[in-house]
């Protein structure tokens, strides 16, 4: 009886281990590297009405780095199997809440990016849509003192959304 119990436990553990190995991916990307080998990421222009100069370079560097770190795709300047392009379309501040004295107490900073994605190996995956992220900060703080950190957080969130929509098939 003890042999069957040990055998059953071993078989159960083996099944769990195999099922986890089949579905587990380190980065969430689900790319068929036999057909998709290259990616072209066009630089995103900043077309937002409100401008902060470093944001464009921060965004472009961050999105490129994300695909380098999380995929085996070779980045090319033209004719990529996958093509990502777009522009930063919004960067706005909005008063979120009013304090008892009638002044703004929290401000929301919001960033929106329009993305065009083309999968030259399977055009049914193509799309054009917008992604956005927002962060709040206390109105007693100057935007210049929190801007870089908040913008980087929004860029990271938006790029994760773009990555998931393009190669992770979420």
Query: Tell me: the pLDDT tens digits for 67-79?
Result: 999 999 999 999 9
Give the model's confidence band at 168: pLDDT under 50 very low, under 70 low, under 90 confident, else very high: confident
Strand-pairing partners, residue 128, are: 116
Task: Give the chain's end-to-end CA distance (angstroms, integer).
Answer: 46
How high is the pLDDT of residue 35?
94
pLDDT digits (tens, 9 = 90+) for 121-155: 999 999 999 999 999 999 899 999 999 999 999 99
- Are 108 and 72 within 8 A, CB to CB? no
pLDDT at position 3 is 60
Contacts of 107 (CB under 8 A, 6+ apart): 93, 94, 95, 96, 136, 137, 138, 139, 143
Q: What angle do CA 103, 155, 75 make, to 5 degrees?
A: 165
What distance in Å separates the CA atoms of residue 103 and residue 95, rounded to the nearest whole number?
Answer: 9
Share of the chain above pLDDT 90, in %: 72
**Higher-pLDDT residue of 139, 42:** 42
User: Higher confidence at residue 170 or residue 120?
Assistant: 120
Question: Rounded to whole angstroms, what are the CA distances from 102 to 92, 105, 137, 138, 143?
Answer: 21, 9, 17, 15, 20
Mean pLDDT in the chain? Answer: 87
pLDDT of residue 15: 56
Paired sense of beta strands 82-98 and 74-75, if any: unpaired
Grade residue 103 by pLDDT with cuts at 50, 70 and 90.
confident
Q: In the predicted model, is pLDDT for residue 20 greater than 70?
A: no
Asked if residue 131 lies in contact with residue 140, where contact means CB atoms within 8 angstroms, the answer is no
Per-residue model confidence (pLDDT) at position 104: 77
């Amino acid at each position: 009886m003890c042999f069957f119990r040990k055998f059953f436990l071993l078989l159960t553990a083996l099944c769990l281990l195999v099922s986890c190995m089949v579905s587990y991916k380190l980065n969430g990307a689900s790319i068929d590297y036999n057909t998709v080998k290259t990616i072209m990421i066009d630089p995103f222009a900043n077309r937002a009405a409100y401008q902060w100069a470093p944001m464009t370079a921060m965004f472009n560097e961050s999105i490129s780095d994300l695909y380098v770190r999380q995929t085996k795709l070779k980045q090319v300047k033209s004719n990529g199997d996958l093509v990502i392009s777009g522009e930063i379309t919004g960067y706005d501040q909005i008063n979120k809440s009013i304090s008892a004295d009638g002044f703004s107490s929290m401000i929301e900073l919001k960033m929106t990016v329009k993305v065009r994605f083309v999968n030259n190996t399977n055009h049914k995956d193509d799309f054009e849509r917008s992604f956005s992220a927002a962060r709040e900060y206390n109105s007693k703080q100057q935007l210049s003192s929190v801007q870089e950190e908040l913008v980087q957080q929004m860029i990271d969130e938006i790029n994760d959304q773009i990555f998931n929509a393009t190669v992770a098939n979420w």
